[in-house]
Structure 1
Amino acid sequence: MSTPQDDELAGTEQPFVSHLIELRDRLIRAVIAIALGFGLLCLYPGPAGLYDLLAAPLVAHLPDGATMIATNVLSPFLVPLKITLLAGFLLALPVVLYQVWAFVAPGLYSHEKRLVLPLVVSSTGLFFVGVAFCYFFVFGKVFTFIQSFAPKSIRAAPDIEAYLSFVMTMFIAFGAAFEVPVVVVVLARMGLVSIEKLREWRGYFIVLAFVIAAVITPPDIVSQLALAVPMCLLYEVGIFAAGYFVRYSKPPETEGQEQQGN
């Protein structure tokens, strides 16, 4: 004869197992998408072509006849392969994010879905915009500044692994910096900071943005402004978006209480 405790526990294992199975399936789909992106990029333009594309901003500013070097025996093979794998992940990122969203969405309320999906899409887009801004604008200014200070007695020959590390650091820094509106919206939506406080802290954030830019970027005014100014502008965008999202993603109960109070 079953006890009340047995009845309470009955049926709890199957939903948990089904969630694990769903998680496994969605992870497999995400890995397959990344593998397909990696395979396509291996076919065209290929690992070497991708590295040449990544190195183009630096190579364009090297002295005539100068090239990049590899100080490690395996670097000419491993570095382009790492770049191809990273590019394959970025290519498959929409599929990966969709799998994450599809797994999490059934457990969210409707007002939470209205908040999470736009934030996922906007954060991904802003990260890509930050990376593109860094590649097409900032790199040219930074490498011009660096080469202008190089003594004529030194022949520049950057190592490909060191260049990859520098590029990844800059990409992550600018991609993260462009997430400022998302951070502002989340803080306001969670009730940690009011929109009025965000407006009052505008001056402090401007100082913080320039400090971050001075620490992360090379010591030239162009690259520092290229990071700090967009951060300040995006902070204003975040304040504007926070007012909309806080109102748009309120629970139905909260909306009903506010209507009764009015």
Structure 2
Amino acid sequence: MSAPNSPETTNQEQPLVSHLIELRDRVLRMVLAVLVVFAVLFPFANDLYSAIAGPMRAALPEGSTMISTKPIDPFLIPFKLSLQLAIFIAIPFILSQFWAFVAPGLYRHEKRMVVPLLVSSTLLFYLGMAFAYFAVFPLVFTFLAGTAPEGVEVATDMGSYLDFVMTLFFAFGVAFEVPIATIILVWLGITTPEKLRHKRPYVIVGAFVVGMFLTPPDVISQTLLALPMWVLFELGVIFSKGFVKKPDEESETAAVETTSEAVEEAPLEPAEAPVGSDIDPASAYVDPDRFVPMTDEEMEEELDAIEADEESAPAEPAQSQSPVETKLQQVQQYRAAGDLEQARELLYEILQDGNSDQRMVARNILAQLDSED
């Protein structure tokens, strides 16, 4: 059993510690961003509450006002509103910090997909909040104020009102993320646009059920939440058609990921230390299959060696060069012509069909293409 402070244990624990330190730093940045926005908003807390309460005050009967039932509410409720708005406003920065933390562990095609999704999801969340404020609040509060029995004066408590509107803000913000959820499900291969269209009746019923749980117990707010969810679902189905993976794309992605995993997860074997050396054999590891990018000169020498082996082999007039060798030559031609995408496709095929030398050359060319990007 290795000692607790052995080099092997230290090498295994250090990445985890560094990730935790980075996570702590990014969480602190998120909190600091919220506090900065809060410090800017708090001097205008009363004005912000007046703006939020505008739809309710407009729906109240003439002569009615909002009330405060607790002595601390006139200070605490605007304070609470400023803090909640600071979190909502800081969402783009919070998501950017989250993205910076997870991005190094993603593949390139995943990075290209996630950034647009983060931006669009943020915009849709804000759009849902705006829809709730400008379209839903006037209708809901007018309806609720008009249903008061005779002899009952409507005087809404400011604390209850804030909880009510924040619930609606969050509900509509989340509901407007339906297109993003639809696109992600299709992109991951969990479902297809055709299957989603067949399940449309269940989605409509589910939208009303979600509206029942996320909104106050009134038909208007429930319907005003369910209908946009249905429309956004249809939009998500339409846009998700562009994210359906083709069979050749899936095979290429699987080939690249399999190659990367094989390189990263290759077993390590202890190297033998020289006689009389102080090096601990248990702490010195050599990975014989580790992929080390070759320089341009080394790759040229490898290609020349492959060609020399082919020339020294007995000539067979009836046979031409192998398909993999032809693809290697085509890759060089595509690179010279600037058609890097076509070159990548051929390199992925070589990774599947070529021998060890040819796969090594293909990996190095892919590494060069990545560095050029």
Question: If the length of structure 1 is used for normalisation, what is the TM-score?
Answer: 0.86
**Deviation (angstroms), 1:47:** 1.2
What secondary structure does 1:11 align onto? Answer: helix
Tell which deviates more after alignment, 174-183 or 201-210.
201-210
- The answer for the alignment partner of 1:228 in structure 2 is 226
- Does the 8 Å CA contact 1:205/1:232 hold for their aligned counterparts? yes
Tell which deviates more after alignment, 201-210 or 128-137.
201-210
- The answer for the alignment partner of 2:12 in structure 1 is 12
1:66 matched to 2:64? The reply is yes
- The answer for the alignment partner of 2:37 in structure 1 is 37
Report 1:181-192 matches (<5 A).
Answer: 181-192=179-190
Tell which deviates more after alignment, 143-152 or 69-78.
143-152
1:100 to 85, 98, 101: 98
1:144 matched to 2:142? The reply is yes
In the alignment, the residues of structure 2 paired with residue 48 and residue 254 of structure 1 have an alpha-carbon distance, to the nearest angstrom, of 56
- The answer for the alignment partner of 1:166 in structure 2 is 164
Task: Mark the CA change 1:113 to 1:160 in structure 2 (over 3 Å): closer, same or farther.
Answer: same
- What one-letter code is carried by the residue in structure 2 that aligns with 1:198? L
In the alignment, the residues of structure 1 paired with residue 28 and residue 80 of structure 2 have an alpha-carbon distance, to the nearest angstrom, of 21
Task: Mark the CA change 1:19 to 1:202 in structure 2 (over 3 Å): closer, same or farther.
Answer: same
In the alignment, the residues of structure 1 paired with residue 126 and residue 86 of structure 2 have an alpha-carbon distance, to the nearest angstrom, of 14
Task: Mark the CA change 1:122 to 1:250 in structure 2 (over 3 Å): closer, same or farther.
Answer: farther
1:86 matched to 2:84? The reply is yes
Question: If the length of structure 2 is used for normalisation, what is the TM-score?
Answer: 0.62
Write the deviation string for residues 198-223 of structure 1: whole angstroms up to 9, x where unpaired: 111112212322343355355345x4
1:132 to 124, 130, 133: 130
- The answer for the alignment partner of 2:353 in structure 1 is none
- Does the 8 Å CA contact 1:185/1:238 hold for their aligned counterparts? yes
In the alignment, the residues of structure 2 paired with residue 73 and residue 24 of structure 1 have an alpha-carbon distance, to the nearest angstrom, of 38
What secondary structure does 2:118 align onto? Answer: helix
What secondary structure does 1:70 align onto? Answer: coil
Task: Mark the CA change 1:201 to 1:86 in structure 2 (over 3 Å): closer, same or farther.
Answer: same
- What one-letter code is carried by the residue in structure 2 that aligns with 1:171? F
Q: Which has the higher contact order (CA 8 A, sep 6+)?
A: 1
**Deviation (angstroms), 1:26:** 1.4
- The answer for the alignment partner of 1:116 in structure 2 is 114
1:27 matched to 2:27? The reply is yes
What secondary structure does 1:60 align onto? Answer: helix
Tell which deviates more after alignment, 137-146 or 245-254.
245-254
Tell which deviates more after alignment, 69-78 or 12-21.
12-21
- The answer for the alignment partner of 1:176 in structure 2 is 174
In the alignment, the residues of structure 1 paired with residue 210 and residue 23 of structure 2 have an alpha-carbon distance, to the nearest angstrom, of 38
Task: Mark the CA change 1:28 to 1:148 in structure 2 (over 3 Å): closer, same or farther.
Answer: same
In the alignment, the residues of structure 2 paired with residue 220 and residue 113 of structure 1 have an alpha-carbon distance, to the nearest angstrom, of 41
- Does the 8 Å CA contact 1:111/1:250 hold for their aligned counterparts? no
Q: Work out which of the two has the higher radius of gyration on C-alpha atoms and give 1 or 2.
A: 2
In the alignment, the residues of structure 1 paired with residue 176 and residue 253 of structure 2 have an alpha-carbon distance, to the nearest angstrom, of 34
- How many aligned positions are there? 254
- What one-letter code is carried by the residue in structure 2 that aligns with 1:133? F
- Does the 8 Å CA contact 2:129/2:173 hold for their aligned counterparts? yes
**Deviation (angstroms), 1:99:** 0.8
- Does the 8 Å CA contact 1:34/1:88 hold for their aligned counterparts? yes
**Deviation (angstroms), 1:58:** 0.1
Task: Mark the CA change 1:10 to 1:146 in structure 2 (over 3 Å): closer, same or farther.
Answer: closer
Task: Mark the CA change 1:94 to 1:224 in structure 2 (over 3 Å): closer, same or farther.
Answer: same
What is the CA RMSD across the aligned residues, in angstroms? 2.6
Write the deviation string for residues 61-88 of structure 1: whole angstroms up to 9, x where unpaired: 1122211111122111111111000111
Structure 2, unaligned stretches of length 5 or more?
Answer: 256-344, 350-373
In the alignment, the residues of structure 1 paired with residue 144 and residue 10 of structure 2 have an alpha-carbon distance, to the nearest angstrom, of 68
In the alignment, the residues of structure 2 paired with residue 250 and residue 70 of structure 1 have an alpha-carbon distance, to the nearest angstrom, of 60
In the alignment, the residues of structure 1 paired with residue 250 and residue 65 of structure 2 have an alpha-carbon distance, to the nearest angstrom, of 57
- What one-letter code is carried by the residue in structure 2 that aligns with 1:219? D
